[in-house]
Every structure is written in structure tokens, then in C-alpha cells.
Amino acid sequence: MYIENLFKREFFINRNALNLAVNLLGHLLIHQTKQGTLIGKIVETEAYLSDDPASHSVIGKTKRNAPMFERGGIAYIYFTYGMHYCFNIVSGNKNMGEAVLIRAIEPIKGIEIMRKNRRKQDIKILTNGPAKLTQAFGINKKYNYHKLNKRPLFIAKNHYKIPKKQIIQTTRIGIKKGTQLPYRFYIKGNSFVSKK
């Protein structure tokens, strides 16, 4: 059903991270697993640009951030704080060094599987944070470099378009550098947006 609505590779390549961060809001992250299909609506994103002090890419290409320098449309997944995975979508063309961090998602389908993966019951805390949603969706380093226009992990179009008025642009959270830059976007009033 959602499979024919998946975004093509060009969608991610033909724009920079700021543009992609805005344009991902409201669309769907889908993971087809053995246990069942997981679907969530993207409700919060952060852009990390090439000349951005907070971006992993600012130091140049390293083994960890190398996916950011590939053509857009692949996943950049990194492990942090000894236990968490964060999921990014690379934007722009090769060697741009930009990506969008998916910070929060609204669970749509496969909620029981998400509860199991998270070992938490309350739907409100299943996916309202970058490392929470990767745990809920079973996303880990095996999907680093994965093309997001292919199953089993992909982005699909939601035909309902978010009104421009409902998109809030503000500063990013959880970082020490570049805190003044307004590179965070979220859907106004959505109760699955992460908290500071």
C-alpha cells in the first residue's frame, strides 16, 4: 500500500539539508521487519550543514561521518553515549557533507512491536527522541549507508500536506556548538515532538 508512494533517490539529492528537513515533516518512515511493518510520521527534524560547527562533517571526512559525504538518500547512523543510535538522512549531492537528523516520529502502525522493542508501554515515549525512535524501529548500524528508496527501510509520501503555518523553525537541542542556528523543525502542537 505505502510501497508505491516511496520517494525516489532524487528527492533527497535535489535539495540541501535545510530544505530536506522541512520537506520530510509529515511524511512516513517505514520499516518492514520479520515481526511486522512499522510506520511512523516524521514530526521533528534537525539539519546539519557542511559549514555548521555542530555537524559531524565540519572536521572533514572520517570513517564515522563518511556516509554524509555520499550522494543524498542514504542513511547515516552513528552510535553515541555507549548505547544509543541516531538516524540521519543524507541530503544533497556527493561530497556535500550534509544530513538531517530525525528527532521524533508519531507512531502510526506496528505500535505493539515498538512497545516490545522499547520495553515501554506509554505510547508517548516510544518515539519522541532520536535514540528512542531508532530503538522502537529496530534501526541500528546495519542500515548505515542503506538507500532509503529501498525496502525494508524507506521514506514514503503522505498525501496529506502539512500547512506551512504548522511548521515551526527554531534552534536545535542537545548540542554544545551552533546552538544559535535555527535548524530545527517540528510540527506545531504534535505531542510526539521531543522535549529538552
Binding site for DNA (CB under 7 A): 46, 48, 54-57, 59, 62-65, 68, 76, 78-84, 86, 88, 99, 101, 118, 120, 125, 129-132, 173-177, 194
Q: Is the peptide bond before 152 cis (omega within 30 degrees of 0)?
A: yes
Least distance in angstroms from the C-beta of 77 to DNA:
10
Least distance in angstroms from the C-beta of 105 to DNA:
11
Q: In 25-121, where does DSSP find H-type helix?
A: 111-118
**For residues 27 and 103, which CB has a smaller minimum distance to DNA in the complex?**
103
From the list 4, 22, 6, the residue with the least C-alpha distance to 187 is 22
**For residues 123 and 173, which CB has a smaller minimum distance to DNA in the complex?**
173
End-to-end CA distance of the chain: 36
Least distance in angstroms from the C-beta of 131 to DNA:
3
Neighbours of 74 (CB within 10 A): 23
**For residues 63 and 161, which CB has a smaller minimum distance to DNA in the complex?**
63
Residues 6+ apart with CB under 8 A from 105: 29, 40, 41, 42, 43, 44, 127, 133, 136, 137, 192
**For residues 115 and 147, which CB has a smaller minimum distance to DNA in the complex?**
115
Between CA 152 and CA 36 the distance in angstroms is 11
Least distance in angstroms from the C-beta of 160 to DNA:
26
